[in-house]
């Protein structure tokens, strides 16, 4: 770098930063797609919504991170909007306290061709798994915390 003119150094640095900014969302979408490859259905809610989990990390502590997917029986209106046909979330479960904390939640709708499309992303969800979203919190907590 000592022999490269200052302008070229800045250009090179700008290109690297731009590539990182562009590729970060692609990597995140890739993680969601990778998690989708091994969904395991764990039950059905009283309203007929299918609940699945994927990619559980089971450390020795009581904290576990898992992907959760809820396929709604019929499109639903949620406090976040809608109509949504599916919810996917990366969730940290604290098995000692019984608390589930999603780090990211994606709400899916279908486009005119029937393809799933992300229609909303939330970083915080106070209602996660409770009645407005389908009453799946206890089901997922019990399943994830019983894994060995």
Same domain, 68 and 130: yes
pTM of the full structure: 0.70
Same domain, 59 and 1: no
- CATH number assigned to the domain comprising residue 99: 2.40.128
Same domain, 61 and 119: yes
pLDDT < 50: residue spans in the chain = 26-35
pLDDT the model gives residue 69 = 96
Same domain, 54 and 98: yes
Q: Rounded to whole angstroms, how far apart are CA atoms 131 and 127?
A: 8
pLDDT the model gives residue 19 = 60
Domain count, the chain: 2
The whole domain housing 12 covers 1-36
Same domain, 63 and 116: yes
Same domain, 116 and 128: yes
The partner residues of 100 in beta bridges, in order of sequence, read 93
pLDDT digits (tens, 9 = 90+) for 86-109: 999 999 999 999 999 898 889 899
pLDDT the model gives residue 31 = 46
pLDDT the model gives residue 26 = 47
Same domain, 17 and 50: no
pLDDT digits (tens, 9 = 90+) for 110-122: 887 888 888 888 8
Same domain, 45 and 65: yes
Same domain, 105 and 68: yes
The first and second tokens of residue 61, run together, are 């502590």
Sheet of 99-110, strand order: 40-44, 50-57, 63-78, 81-94, 99-110, 116-122
């Amino acid at each position: 770098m000592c022999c490269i003119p200052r302008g070229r150094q800045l250009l090179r640095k700008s290109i690297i930063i731009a590539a990182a900014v562009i590729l970060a969302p692609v990597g995140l979408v890739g993680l969601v797609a990778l998690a989708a490859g091994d969904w395991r259905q764990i039950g059905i809610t009283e309203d007929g919504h299918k609940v699945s989990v994927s990619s559980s990390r089971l450390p020795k502590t009581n904290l576990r991170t898992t992907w959760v997917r809820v396929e709604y029986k019929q499109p639903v209106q949620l406090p976040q909007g809608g109509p949504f046909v599916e919810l996917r979330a990366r969730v940290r479960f604290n098995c000692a306290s019984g608390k589930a904390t999603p780090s990211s939640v994606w709400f899916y709708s279908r486009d005119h061709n029937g393809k799933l499309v992300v229609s909303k992303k939330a970083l915080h969800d106070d209602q996660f798994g409770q009645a407005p979203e389908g009453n799946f919190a206890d089901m997922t907590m019990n399943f994830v915390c019983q894994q060995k």
